[in-house]
A = this chain, B = another copy of it.
Amino acid sequence: MEEKSVPHYRRLYEQLRKGIVDGIYKEGDLLPSENELCALHNLTRPTVRKALDLLAHEGFIKKQQGLGSIVHKLPKGIGILSIAGTTTAIGKKNLKTTTVVRPRVQNWPSDFFFALSDEFKTVGCIYFERVRFVNDHPIFYEQTYLPNINLPRFTSRNLDNKSLFDLLRQNYQLEIKGGEQYLKAIEAVDEKICEYLNIRTGQPVLYLSRKLETNRINFSFFSFMYCNTSDFSLYGVF
């Protein structure tokens, strides 16, 4: 009996992905060919190809006609620009999270960067702030705004060292399907930012504004992130 209703291509994708990040498939290796994967997992080629396309799209493999699927080298930077949340992008062992402003219900800022529906404006938002440490250095200072709709008990949840994506999926059946993001380089002028990220006033930080879309229709939430990129780069493929 199969679990729930996760599509086959998605399960194969996750299995292969795990094989790559765990080092079972190493850089330069060829994945099993499409036909081999078909036989191994009792699937058909279009299904297998869909899984491989996902991997290629996120930079884990490069496909080459006539040759196969080549495992790509692991990036030097933090792969936060694609759909992966911070926890997935960095890995739990190197990531620590502290909540500096606990979740609370409030109104949306009047000059909010993203467009808000009337419903969103009416119900207000759940707001919180977190600082995330990579190898014990504070790298991300993140402000999150969730529409206050159907999120019972959220304000009393503990977000320390947890993946927000996981929490939303496990407790509210919310799956992040995609989103859009805007990037800027700015000076860290706000005192709080400098304090949290342990940088001097005026130091450049990368400012990332994101709208995150979920499987619940018309339910998106928002995140504004200040990144200290002096030691790390943000990494992405395209």
Give chain B nearest CB distance to A111 CB in angstroms.
14
Contact of A76 among B182, B185, B227 (CB under 8 A): B182
Please tell me if A86 contacts chain B, counting CB pairs below 8 Å.
Answer: no
Nearest chain B residue, comparing its CB with the CB of A184: B229
Contact in complex: B233, A59 (CB < 8 Å): no
**Consensus secondary structure, chain A interface:** strand
Indicate which residue in B181, B217, B233, B237 contacts A184 across the interface (CB closer than 8 Å).
B233
Q: A50: nearest residue on chain B (CB-CB)?
A: B53
Instruction: Let me know if A179 is at the binding interface, CB within 8 A.
Output: yes
A75 to B64, CA, bound (A): 33
Residues of B within 8 A of A213 (CB): 62
A6 at the interface (CB under 8 A from B): no
Q: Verify if A178 is at the interface (C-beta below 8 Å from B).
A: yes
Give the oligomeric copy count.
2
Which bracket fits the contact residues of A?
35 or more
Q: Is A181 a contact of B229 with CB atoms below 8 Å? A: no
Chain A, 180-238, CB within 8 A of any chain B CB? 180-187, 202-207, 209, 213, 217, 227, 229-230, 233-238
CB contact between A182 and one of B46, B181, B204, B235 (< 8 Å): that residue: B235
**With A238-B81, A238-B82, A238-B83 as contacts: A205 and B180 at CB distance below 8 Å:** no
Establish whether residues A180 and B233, one from each chain, have CB atoms under 8 Å apart when the complex forms: no
Bound CA span A183–B205, Å = 11
Please tell me if the beta carbons of B64 and A179 are within 8 angstroms of each other in the complex: no
A219 to chain B, nearest CB (A): 13
Give the distance to chain B from A51, nearest Cβ to Cβ, in Å. Answer: 14
Within the complex, what minimum Cβ distance (angstroms) separates A45 from chain B? 12
Residue of B nearest to A59 (CB): B180
Question: Which residues of A, 70-94, contact B by the 8 Å Cβ criterion?
Answer: 75-77, 81-83
Query: Can you report 5 residue pairs joining A to B where beta carbons are below 8 Å apart?
Result: A75-B180, A181-B235, A181-B237, A185-B205, A186-B229
- 10 smallest CB-CB distances across A and B, nearest first, come from A204-B204, A185-B185, A182-B233, A185-B206, A185-B204, A184-B229, A183-B234, A180-B237, A83-B238, A82-B238
